[in-house]
């Protein structure tokens, strides 16, 4: 039984929620099930409708009816029951139980029932559970409460996709989105010792293979051409292992094939990938298609990379506006300004970006042609090439933010400093 009153309409606008558990973490994507809601209160009906539009429920089929439990009893006397029935009822406990018993007579095996009631009553809750009700929520339940409840009922942490998906996209072509995606994913795998898969969706021109000095024969195109065949064994064969914790789903990078995959195929492939690893980083090409939009909207977190010029600002704004409209229950995307601070070049400042986009820039990475070009040509990550490169710290920050981990490096005392710390203290006292 849960009582929640927090308003979840605003998270897209709140940056401070990033460091803690965000309400949007409470619910995971919900499988392809049918859900029918019968409501007494229009606010509950609105909350169900609102949830139905969320990315997490995009596979589920949801219908909402008014009339509460009486309407449900009448309806199911003649129709088969769906996977999940949501009953919103203003009835008092005793009458509610009588009506639920009547509803149970026409419920098919396998149908789950969630009740939204008006009474915060433990005895009633126990009676409901005894009758097989899957969960009881106390009104007002918002759409995030509902999604969390459904997610708990239908997501099995042992078997269902649990990995987090991070989508990386450039506001313009060539702004360094793939480079950042690869370096951040590599940092996660090395630093957190967690398995990470990079899915290169730039099928014709992707650089994941090159950046990790790999030349696989098979990869993501084979999975996308027959997504229904993709299981753990096939996935294993199609992934290329780059290090203990990092695998890549490499792009074919050939031009004699057409790559007209459906959004559904992409989604199926990413779902299988995230069944197998805690983190999937999707390297999206700069370009706009049905499937790239779907992958972006469906991702758990989004990283937009922009260079500090006007076209990048405009494009970033368009992407962010689209995400604002389609991801009402999610936090804002992360924005990275890359290739910044080039001498003599006129650039749009961080402040101007933040004001225009109404968000905080997560990281500013300077233009550093020497390090980046050498790493790219060697097929190395920046940290492998030069552990002192300035951008490395930024990659760590982004990796920690995306995975909501605390960067323990910041807490480690600098050994050189700690040796002279007592002397510094003394000097401070003398001043
Ligand atoms: N901060 C930087 N300073 C200098 N060079 C950089 C920087 N970031 C990336 N690069 C270089 O810019 C080039 C383009 O990078 P990358 O391929 O990652 O961009 P992209 O946004 O993914 O491009 P595409 O639109 O083709 O997908 C690469 O050669 C990369 O090494
Ligand atoms: Mg790229």
Mean pLDDT of 221-250: 94
Residue where a domain stops, chosen among 154, 179, 204: 154
**Quick one: pLDDT at residue 409?**
57
Instruction: Determine, yes or no, domain membership for 34.
Output: yes
Please state, in angstroms and rounded to a whole number, the distance separating the CA atoms of residues 164 and 144: 18
- Assess whether 144 and 256 both reside in one domain: no
pLDDT at 151 > cutoff 80: yes
Q: For residue 201, what are the contacts with CB-CB under 8 A and spacing of at least 6?
A: 220, 251, 266, 282, 283, 284, 285, 291, 292, 295
For residue range 10-31, list pLDDT tens digits in order.
455 444 444 455 555 678 888 8
| C-alpha of residue 325 to centroid of ligand 2, in Å | 25
- Nearest ligand 1 atom to the CA of 375 is 31
**Quick one: pLDDT at residue 38?**
98
Which of 203, 372, 378, 382 to mutate for ligand 1's pocket (most ligand atoms within 8 Å of CB)? 372
Angle of CA points 315, 321, 326, to nearest 5°: 130
- Assess whether 367 and 243 both reside in one domain: yes
Q: Judging by beta carbons within 10 Å of its beta carbon (0-12, 13-18, 19+), is residue 219 exposed, middle or buried?
A: buried
Q: Average per-residue pLDDT in the chain?
A: 89
Model pTM score:
0.81
> Who wins on pLDDT, 423 or 227?
227
> Who wins on pLDDT, 165 or 155?
165
Q: What is the CATH number of the domain that holds 362?
A: 3.40.50.300
Looking at 331-340, 343-352, 419-428, which range is the least confident one?
A: 419-428
Q: What percent of the chain has pLDDT over 70?
A: 87
Residues with CB under 5 A from ligand 2 (ion): 178
- Assess whether 285 and 341 both reside in one domain: yes
- Nearest ligand 1 atom to the CA of 180 is 18
Q: Whose CA is nearest to atom 3 of ligand 1?
A: 367
| C-alpha of residue 378 to centroid of ligand 1, in Å | 14
| C-alpha of residue 357 to centroid of ligand 1, in Å | 23
Residue where a domain stops, chosen among 129, 154, 179: 154
Domain total in the chain: 2
Mean pLDDT of 59-79: 95
CA dihedral of 264, 270, 271, 274, whole degrees rounded to 10: -170
| C-alpha of residue 181 to centroid of ligand 1, in Å | 10
**Quick one: pLDDT at residue 127?**
94
Please state, in angstroms and rounded to a whole number, the distance separating the CA atoms of residues 109 and 97: 19
**Quick one: pLDDT at residue 5?**
35
Which of 170, 177, 179 to mutate for ligand 1's pocket (most ligand atoms within 8 Å of CB)? 179
Report, in this order, helix, strand and coil percent for the chain, each rounded to 5.
Answer: 45, 15, 40
Q: What is the CATH number of the domain that holds 80?
A: 3.40.50.2300
Q: What percent of the chain has pLDDT over 90?
A: 76
For residue range 290-335, list pLDDT tens digits in order.
999 999 999 999 999 999 999 999 999 999 999 999 998 899 999 9
Which of 176, 364, 370 to mutate for ligand 1's pocket (most ligand atoms within 8 Å of CB)? 176
For residue range 213-226, list pLDDT tens digits in order.
999 999 999 999 99
- Assess whether 212 and 125 both reside in one domain: no
Contacts for 222-225 with beta carbons within 8 Å, 24 or more apart?
Answer: 223/249, 223/269, 223/272, 224/259, 224/261, 224/265, 224/266, 224/269, 225/261
């Amino acid at each position: 039984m849960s009582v929640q009153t927090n308003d979840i309409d605003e998270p897209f606008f709140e940056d401070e929620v990033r460091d803690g558990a965000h309400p949007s973490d409470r619910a995971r994507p919900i499988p392809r099930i049918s859900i029918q809601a019968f409501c007494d209160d229009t606010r509950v009906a609105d909350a169900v409708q609102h949830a139905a539009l969320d990315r997490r429920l995009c596979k589920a089929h949801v219908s909402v009816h008014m009339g509460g439990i009486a309407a449900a009893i009448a309806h199911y006397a003649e129709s088969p029951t769906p996977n999940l029935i949501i009953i919103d009822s203003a009835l008092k406990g005793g009458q509610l139980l009588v009506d639920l018993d009547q509803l149970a007579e026409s419920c098919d095996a396998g149908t789950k029932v969630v009740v939204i009631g008006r009474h915060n009553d433990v005895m009633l809750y126990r009676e409901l559970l005894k009758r097989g009700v899957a969960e009881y929520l106390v009104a007002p339940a918002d759409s995030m409460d509902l999604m969390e409840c459904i997610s708990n009922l239908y997501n099995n942490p042992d078997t269902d996709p649990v990995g987090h998906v991070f989508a990386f996209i450039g506001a313009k072509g060539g702004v360094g989105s793939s480079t950042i995606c690869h370096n951040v994913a590599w940092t996660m795998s090395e630093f957190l010792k967690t398995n990470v898969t990079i899915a290169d969706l730039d099928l014709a021109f992707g650089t994941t293979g090159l950046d990790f000095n790999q030349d696989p024969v098979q990869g993501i195109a084979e999975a996308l051409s027959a997504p229904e065949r993709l299981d753990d064994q096939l996935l294993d064969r199609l992934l290329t292992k780059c290090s203990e914790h990092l695998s890549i789903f490499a792009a074919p990078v050939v031009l004699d094939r057409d790559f007209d995959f459906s959004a559904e195929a992409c989604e199926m492939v990413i779902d299988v990938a995230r069944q197998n690893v805690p983190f999937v980083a999707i390297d999206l090409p700069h370009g706009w298609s049905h499937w790239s939009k779907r992958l972006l909207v469906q991702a758990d977190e989004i990283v937009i990379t922009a260079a500090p010029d006007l076209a990048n600002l405009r494009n970033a704004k368009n992407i962010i506006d689209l995400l604002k409209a389609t991801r009402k229950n999610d936090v804002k995307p992360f924005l990275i300004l890359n290739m910044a601070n080039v001498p003599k070049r006129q650039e749009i400042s961080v402040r101007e970006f933040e004001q225009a986009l109404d968000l905080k820039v997560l990281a500013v990475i300077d233009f550093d042609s020497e390090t980046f070009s050498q790493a790219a040509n060697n097929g190395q990550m920046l940290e492998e090439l030069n552990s002192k490169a300035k951008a490395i710290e930024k990659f760590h920050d982004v990796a920690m933010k995306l995975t909501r981990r605390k960067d323990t490096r910041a807490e480690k005392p600098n050994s050189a400093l700690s040796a002279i710390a007592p002397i510094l203290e003394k000097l401070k006292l003398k001043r």
